[in-house]
């Protein structure tokens, strides 16, 4: 089937920098990929990035960080996850402070400025475990931002600690938490979430963590994992909910989308390809007009598609990611060093710059 030419009215709205509706986004979705990419690139070039001294179109950023999955024990058994273990599995673990320190020492030696801390929903770890870990990391590695604990984890914490959600987040911030990742968003439509992760927090609970965090002065990223059981309209509802919350709080720093990786998981779905990934990233850049930054997902798509994504709305190349366990458990494993990332950015015609979590340039 040949994609129809795009309605000129919708195209004109995009080029004029105007907000498009969900219905118009649905129309854009079916546009020819090259045309949709060109519109997203136009929006990317004119997004406001005051910190870049008017050179936002020339610059592509990246960050040096690493993932640390402090435990793989989890009691929500998501069908799309190949990483989790139960306490009965021989290879379950909870990292010690010493093990985490060894990873942070490596990160520091590489010039890293951030650690992404995420784990499973461990049913037995109390609040003292987390607060002591955060305080230890902040004291020993003050130069490393702790970007940690996704919304589903915070909902899990509130339940296990028998504590109001706002109090939990406030205590974590006081102990050293610097920002919150957008993990666990998957698709923010409860009908979908019930099918792929019925024991994980619902859509409104995910959004409420972000709302409270933003109110407490913690920024966060936003994500979408697509290409499993959701429909196009489900994806658009997800984007609508993110845009609405960003209008309210202005607390999201960036949006990242990626495709479901089915290998070694219980959720069986036909993988969507690179063209579908580029289509959704481009559409997200256009629809999420209040998000300054869109991150390329080379971790799931590979370096070359990650590079092409810079012409489909992305202005950030993500992370060096010294360690990644969740996606690689599902059979996808790509690795890049800082020099390789900078080379890919330059070859695409942009100027590479390291950044921190808040998208301030470091070099």
The pLDDT value given to residue 260: 85
Q: What pLDDT does 331 receive?
A: 42
Q: Which residue has the higher pLDDT, 288 or 260?
A: 288
Domains identified in the chain, total number: 1
Name the band, by pLDDT with cuts 50, 70 and 90, for residue 262: low
Q: Is residue 2 pLDDT above 50, yes or no?
A: no
264-300 pLDDT tens trace: 555 566 677 899 999 999 999 999 999 999 999 998 8
Give the pairing type, strands 293-295 and 252-259.
parallel
Q: Count Cβ atoms below 10 Å from residue 161 Cβ, excluding itself.
A: 17
- What is the domain range of residue 250? 51-354
- Please indicate whether residue 6 or residue 358 has the higher confidence score (pLDDT): 358
Which stretch of 42-56, 108-122, 191-205 has the lowest confidence by average pLDDT? 42-56
On whether residue 223 sits in a domain, the answer given is yes
Per-residue pLDDT band for 86 (boundaries 50, 70, 90) equals: low
Does 1 map to a domain? Answer: no
Lowest mean per-residue pLDDT among 66-75, 102-111, 175-184, 188-197: 66-75
Per-residue CA distances from 244 to 21, 110, 238, 291, 320 (Å): 12, 38, 10, 11, 31
The answer to whether residue 16 is domain-embedded is: no
Does the residue 34 lie in any domain? no
What mean pLDDT is predicted for residues 326-338? 60
Higher pLDDT, 34 or 56: 34
| DSSP assignment string, 203-262 | HHHHHHHHHHHHHTT-EEEEEEEESSS--HHHHHHHHHHHHHHHHHH--EEEEEEEE---
219 occurs within a structural domain: yes
Residue 32 lies in a domain: no
The string of DSSP letters for 59-73 reads EEEEE-EEEEE-B-B
Q: What is residue 21's predicted lDDT score, i.e. its pLDDT?
A: 97
Identify the CATH number of the domain in which residue 263 sits.
Answer: 3.20.20.70
Could you tell me if residue 4 is inside a domain?
A: no
What is the mean pLDDT of the segment spanning 206-210?
Answer: 98
218 domain-assigned: yes
């Amino acid at each position: 089937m040949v994609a129809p030419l795009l309605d000129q009215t919708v195209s004109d709205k995009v080029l004029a920098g105007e907000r498009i509706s969900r219905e118009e986004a649905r129309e854009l979705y079916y546009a020819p990929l090259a045309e949709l990419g060109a519109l997203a690139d136009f929006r990317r070039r004119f997004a406001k990035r005051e910190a870049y001294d008017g050179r936002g179109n020339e610059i592509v950023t990246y960050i040096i960080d690493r993932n640390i999955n402090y435990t793989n024990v989890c009691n929500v058994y998501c069908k799309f996850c190949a990483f989790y273990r139960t306490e009965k599995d021989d290879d379950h673990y909870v990292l010690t402070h010493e093990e985490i320190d060894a990873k942070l020492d490596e990160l520091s030696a590489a010039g890293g400025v951030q650690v992404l801390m995420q784990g499973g929903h461990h049913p037995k770890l109390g609040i003292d475990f987390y607060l002591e870990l955060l305080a230890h990391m902040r004291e020993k590695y003050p130069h490393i931002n702790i970007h940690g604990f996704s919304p589903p984890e915070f909902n899990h914490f509130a339940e296990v600690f028998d504590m109001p959600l706002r109090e939990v987040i406030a205590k974590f911030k006081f102990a050293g938490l610097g920002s919150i990742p957008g993990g666990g968003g998957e698709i923010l439509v409860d009908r979908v979430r019930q099918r792929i992760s019925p024991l994980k927090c619902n859509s409104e609970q995910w959004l409420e963590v972000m709302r409270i965090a933003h109110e407490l002065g913690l920024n966060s990223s936003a994500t979408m994992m697509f290409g499993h059981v959701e429909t196009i309209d489900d994806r658009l509802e997800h984007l609508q909910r993110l845009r609405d919350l960003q209008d309210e709080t202005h607390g999201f720093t960036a949006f990242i989308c990626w495709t479901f990786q089915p290998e070694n998981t219980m959720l069986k779905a036909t993988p969507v390809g690179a063209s579908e990934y580029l289509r959704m990233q481009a559409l997200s850049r256009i629809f999420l007009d209040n998000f300054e930054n869109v991150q390329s997902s080379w971790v799931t798509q590979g370096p070359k598609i990650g590079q092409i994504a810079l012409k489909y709305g992305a202005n950030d190349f993500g992370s060096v990611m010294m360690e990644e366990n969740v996606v690689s458990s599902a059979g996808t494993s790509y690795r890049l060093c800082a020099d390789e990332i900078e080379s890919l950015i330059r070859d695409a015609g942009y100027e590479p710059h390291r950044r921190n979590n808040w998208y301030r340039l470091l070099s």
